[in-house]
Structure 1
Amino acid sequence: MEKSLLQALKIMEFKWLFSGQVVSDFGNWLSFMAVMIMFTYHWELPPEQLALLPIVIAIPWIFLSPFSGVWADRFSKKKLMIICDLVRSILTFMLIFAQNIWSVLIFIVLIHSVATFFDPARQAAIKEYVPENQLLQANSLSQLSVQISKVLSPTIGGVIVAFWNPVYAFIINSICFLISAILLSRLPNVKKKMTPNIESKETKFLSELLSGLKQIVRSKYLIIAVLCVFSMMFFIYLYDSYIALWSKEIGIPSTSFSLIISGIGLGSVLGAFIVGSFGNRIHPIRMILTIPIMNGILFSIIGLGGINVISLNVVVWFIIWMMIGVIGAGIPIAFATIIQTETPSTMTGKVYGFAQSIINIPILIAPLIGAKLINLLGIGYVFLISGLTFSVMSFVALIIFEFNKRTNKISDNIEMESREFNTPSS
């Protein structure tokens, strides 16, 4: 199992790319946890202000991603990623001077604006460095980096915020970005594939910008994947910013709240291992549609706890949140794999940028709707209702997909399932 998953690390270029991601992911989650705990437990901000955090994170991804995706395909991926890491290091360090929610949010907008250039370049680099039959394993490892950071960073971040000061988390994150830049400097330059330049710069840029959207529209699998993740993001962000509030409502102390987030990360680590080892046996679209059904049921159980229908101890809640992580790990892995396999290497950045722009749109409104619903119904009912709706909608979509697959309405006979996603393990 591990041999199959770790096969991509034998590729030296991917090894340096992955190493840089591990370091920067750790720093990212460390400072994110520091901000969440600081907002909820130290400053005791109301739900409406807590909702601003995911919104300001989403704004750059919605409005800048299509443009930054063009630049990611135009320029050296290596140089672009290094510059982004250096800029993010400076901006993260500046967070130590932020004294109120508004100054913190401004720096977060700037940091994620830079990230919109980094991520499409990284996705395009993976496409260039990794053979197609190992893309799922490479994406699983990338997801492992994110989720291992969720396991370690919340615990360390919780200790830092509880016993020292959040500024230490920001300083560590700043250093992590510097280390990531050094590791990425070991990468060879990706050879740029030239295309005939028969248009003016302005016209060519607009044409490249729209080509990302056109590629999504032309591919059945990209359309399904983007629509599914779009819907999933809406339901998740109804309550995602309020996990700390749910934890506080049912009596979990701040020191134990970080364990809940770590549980999600630990489960996601296990889930990424499973998907990376056995995911080739499951069509990624089927994976994207099935996962929300199971997680919706778990969210409903969490909602029942929030309205005091059931009462469980911290250990049981930890296990439930861990299972959510195990099951949900396949979503980003399958999504990234579909984008890479359904997109020419000269367009990976543009398609990824447009896809990120679309799937992040719900974050602008879902947290605010969630805040209103929490004030109206309570945090427990928001989890319960959204979880049940999440499951039912995904189940209906899965039935439609399976029916259309069998009647050849969606298909190229799903040859992609056997050719691209069921390659023999080495």
Structure 2
Amino acid sequence: MKPGIFKPLKTRSYRSLFGAQVFSDLGNWLDFLTLQIIVVYHWGLDASAIASVIIVIGLPWVLIGPFASVFVDRLPKKTIMILSLLFKIIFVVGLYYSPNLYVLLLFVFLKGTVSSLFDPARQSAIRLTVPEKLLPEAVTLSQLSVNTMKIIGPALGGGMIALFGIKSPLVFEIIGFTIAIIFLLMMPKIDEEWGRTSQNNSKKREFWKELLEGLNHIKQTKLLYLSIIISSIALFIIFLYDGLLIFVGQKLGFNETSYGLLVSSVGLGSVVGALLLGQWTNWKNKPIHFMSSSSVISGLLIISIGVGSLGIMIFPKFIWIIGAFCLGLLASGESIPYGYVLQSETPKEMMGRVSSAAMAIQTFSMLIAPAIGALIAKAIGVSLVMIFAGVITICLGLMVLLFILKKHATTSLKAKGLEG
């Protein structure tokens, strides 16, 4: 393994930022799995309840994130992240004591609200702490944190539930956010000269003009625009079945403890994928090709899981765990190139607004997907939803690849003087 992937960690500011992200991501994954287990296994609710949780998690990113991002670009990023984590701790306490689904959804929404501020501030801080030449490695490390916590979070969560009770992971989530705050407190002051200039100028500018700058930048930057569209459609497909995956897991024979292994396998595959992409960075020359190719192969795996849950293909659990690992491996082929395009195609002073606008576009597609997935599941069953999602995933990848090939062929013809 080339040491290049870890070069950004030599910078003290990025090292502190990365440490904070690791423990923040750990808390988020403890949270996500625990909420599903509470709703399905503890309260005995159905797919509609899971869909409502997923929808409420994403709602703040659409309703609040894009508007608040203007202030994220104006204000010190370190302060925003620390305050966001402090409020997260308060809202996790609320989740712990939630007596029913409705109260739980309230605190899920509040926690999502501060998360929609934390993430664009973190994205901006990456640009402020590493030089341009280390952006691929920094983005890969950031995604590596998310993917690694997909393994550690569910695994720890399952162990904690077995040893200390169903809500115990929420206590450890609070501890994780506290450690993340400590890392940020140790973070050296980062240079935000452009931020102070922007803040002074913004007093003379209209709020809405600043807000629209993020959307206009996306619209005018073709590579960024295309990557966001692909990512948004891919996320819609994922969230079409994501809330149903726990029910698919039940059909495949996984219980509340072993289901954590299935989720962890996806995370392990993502980690291995991130490490491979960190070693081989030629993908940055053709990120869209890489994203669409990964989509085609992922679709085949999703169909296989759906067919398996119908009982047509019967395999031991470890085979499905291997399949989940491969699915995670391919997921890195979509998420990491997208993260690099977002960072490399956006000016530092607009990072908060652009990343938040991009997240809002993606989240909007994610919000409607769980409800549609739940409705389809009631009509035809969760297994057929998985198969349907796999078919769409393949079609997405093939359409993008065909579009690229057609455009390339047209360009070549024009260059040879055979057209126009």
TM-score range, shorter chain: over 0.9
Alignment of 1:272-311 (within 5 A): 272-282=274-284, 283-311=286-314
Distance 2:131 2:297 in 1: 32
Secondary structure at 1:239 match in 2 = helix
Alignment of 1:9-408 (within 5 A): 9-187=9-187, 188-193=189-194, 194-195=197-198, 203-282=205-284, 283-408=286-411
Distance 1:329 1:214 in 2: 28
Distance 2:111 2:81 in 1: 13
Secondary structure at 1:270 match in 2 = helix
Does the aligned pair in 1 maintain the 2:129–2:190 contact within 8 Å? no
Distance 1:151 1:196 in 2: 40
Structure 2 letter corresponding to 1:338: V
Distance 1:338 1:249 in 2: 38
Distance 1:124 1:199 in 2: 18
Q: What residue number does 1:421 align with?
A: none
Moved over 6 A (4+): none
Identity value in percent: 33
Does the aligned pair in 1 maintain the 2:74–2:199 contact within 8 Å? no
The count of residues paired between Structure 1 and Structure 2 equals 408
Secondary structure at 2:206 match in 1 = helix
Does the aligned pair in 2 maintain the 1:266–1:325 contact within 8 Å? yes
The runs of 5 or more residues in structure 1 that have no matched partner are 410-426
Does the aligned pair in 1 maintain the 2:292–2:396 contact within 8 Å? no
Distance 1:82 1:280 in 2: 35
**1:199-235 residue CA offsets vs partner (Å, 9 max, x unmatched):** 766x521111000000000100111011101111111
**1:11-45 residue CA offsets vs partner (Å, 9 max, x unmatched):** 21111100111111112211221111111222221
Query: Could you tell which deviates more after superposition, 216-225 or 149-158?
Result: 149-158
Does the aligned pair in 1 maintain the 2:74–2:198 contact within 8 Å? no
CA positional deviation for 1:166: 3.2
Secondary structure at 1:51 match in 2 = helix
Secondary structure at 1:310 match in 2 = coil
CA positional deviation for 1:175: 1.7
Distance 1:179 1:286 in 2: 39
Distance 1:101 1:161 in 2: 19
Structure 1 letter corresponding to 2:311: N
Distance 1:380 1:164 in 2: 33
TM-score under structure 2 normalisation? 0.93
Structure 2 letter corresponding to 1:262: S
Distance 2:186 2:46 in 1: 45
Secondary structure at 1:311 match in 2 = coil
Structure 2 letter corresponding to 1:217: K
The runs of 5 or more residues in structure 2 that have no matched partner are 413-420
CA positional deviation for 1:197: 5.5
